[in-house]
Homo-oligomer: A and B are copies of this chain.
Amino acid sequence: MHILLVHAHPEARSLNGALTRFIVGRLERQQHSVAVSDLYAMRWNAVLDRADRLDIDPDQRFDPSLDSRDAYARGTQSPDIAREQDKLRRADAVILQFPLWWFSMPAILKGWVERVYAYGFAYGVGEHSDARWGDRYGEGSMAGKRAMLVVTAGGWESHYGPRGINGPIDDILFPIQHGILHYPGFDVLPPHVVYRTGKTDVARFERICAVLGERLDTLFTTPPLPFRRQNGGDYTIPELGLRDDICPGRAGFCIHLAQR
């Protein structure tokens, strides 16, 4: 299989850098091929703007969404965007690997999502009408591919527990796992999160790699998170609320995962 690893840390001699090298080595040992988008090393342009569309009229009002659509359709996207889209097309699985900064991904990776996820590629796909709100949340261009987050956090695991002060890690990652990965159709695997990273000596790094190695060895067999499909019958269209008879009376991110 072919895996795309997107890595977002400014220092190769960091825990995150070591994790990326471990991931590549482990996957290759399993006879997979791996492409790495090392965003800092690539000096990735994190800022979506009118330069992303090569054929834009200089006087024209820039619309992030409509200009993305036209540039994608006409083949006039900035070449760095098109290259990353090709990497996504080729991949059977995608791993996003990053430190949790201010409870989300680093800006450089967020800018990768914003620019690479073009209208017509990652959103605005399929029929949009009052009866169907596009191919998304379980359908779309990434359907059939798997995705997984590998995240490091400085705080303690208890701070991210069900009642921890930062909020539960599953909820912190929901806008990424559901809103960025499930949205264009990825099957999203449970994340691999490493806590308290300030205290990582060699022995601990080896323990982290042992657990992460297991996850990589089962990348194509681990059951994905059971996020509901938009067009699978659970949601009313076009309001896109969960049907009243499913998880009745409940609200929040967790109702968008089917109960097992």
Contact = CB atoms under 8 A, between A and B. Distances in A.
Contact of A110 (B102, B159, B174): B102
A253 B164 CA distance: 9
Interface string A55-92: 00000011111000000000000000000000000000
Interface string A107-138: 11011011001000000000000000000010
A163 interface: yes
Interface residues on A, range: 35 or more
Contacts of A107: 46-48, 107-108, 110-111, 114
Contacts of A103: 175-176, 179-180
Interface in A160-196: 161-168, 171-172, 174-176, 178-180
A235 B137 CA distance: 36
A256 B167 contact: yes
Contact of A108 (B46, B175, B238): B46
A46, A61, A113, A180, most chain B CB atoms within 10 A? A46
Given A62-B10, A175-B104, A242 B165 contact: yes
